[in-house]
């Protein structure tokens, strides 16, 4: 397993480096036999030291945790505890024999009528796209996509449905439930 430890405006000594390597490796190996990689970044924010951890226990699964404290060791320990809690929750969902679809409320959105682009008003105050990113779409079930969305702590997740291979999306609604978009080709 590859572990990258960096410091921004802070010197990472050998003692802290070995402590971080030992702890993060034991945390990840507790839940996964062969985790892929992890990165730990320490930065100074005023009088506090912030520890940001990004771990990849499996392909296309990313877990983040961060914490700030006056002591670098305490900041790392708190962030590592958050990672451990997320890994425990993820592993529990993977090994659970119950279907998560029973406990998650889904809402199916009906498609709206198609509007031709020429008939739309040209609004000059339209929002600007500020970020573009390319990523690999996971092939999974709807419940697996909900689990990945919760694990990554993102508001929406696009995926390929394992049942039919089509693009689907799950998202967290304002009322706390999960929405599921399954477009049907005509």
For 115-164, the pLDDT digits (tens) are 555 555 555 666 777 777 777 888 889 888 888 888 877 889 999 998 88
pTM: 0.56
Q: What structural domains and CATH numbers belong to the chain?
A: 2-95 (3.30.160.100), 98-109+134-186 (3.30.505.50)
- Banded pLDDT at 107 (limits 50, 70, 90): low
Write the secondary structure of 49-112 as one string of H (helix), E (strand) and C (coil): EEEEEEEEEECCEEEEEEEEECCHHHHHHHHHHHHHHHHHHHHHHHHCCCCHHHCCCEEECCCC
Q: What average pLDDT does the chain have? A: 81
**Confidence at residue 100, expressed as pLDDT on a 0 to 100 scale:** 45
Eight-class DSSP state of 124: T
Task: Choose the weakest-confidence range: 93-107, 139-153, 160-174.
Answer: 93-107
Angle value at C-alpha 65, between 90 and 37, nearest 5 degrees: 75
Which helix (H) or strand (E) segment holds residue 150: the answer is helix 142-152
């Amino acid at each position: 397993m590859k572990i990258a430890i960096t410091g921004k405006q802070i010197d990472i000594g050998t003692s802290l480096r070995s402590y971080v390597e030992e702890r993060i490796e034991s945390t990840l190996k507790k839940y996964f036999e062969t985790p892929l990689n992890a990165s730990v970044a320490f930065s100074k924010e005023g009088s506090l030291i912030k520890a940001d951890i990004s771990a990849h226990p499996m392909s296309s699964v990313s877990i983040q945790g961060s914490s700030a404290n006056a002591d670098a060791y305490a900041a790392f320990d708190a962030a590592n505890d958050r990672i451990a809690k997320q890994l425990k929750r993820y592993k529990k969902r993977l090994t659970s024999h119950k279907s998560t679809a029973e406990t998650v409320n889904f809402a199916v959105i009906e498609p709206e009528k198609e509007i031709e682009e020429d008939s739309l008003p040209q609004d000059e105050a339209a929002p600007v796209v500020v970020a573009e990113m390319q990523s690999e779409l996971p092939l999974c079930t709807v419940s697996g996509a909900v689990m990945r969305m919760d694990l990554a702590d993102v508001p929406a997740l696009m995926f390929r449905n394992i049942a039919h291979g089509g693009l689907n999306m799950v998202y967290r609604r304002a009322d706390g439930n999960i929405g599921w978009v399954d477009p049907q080709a005509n």
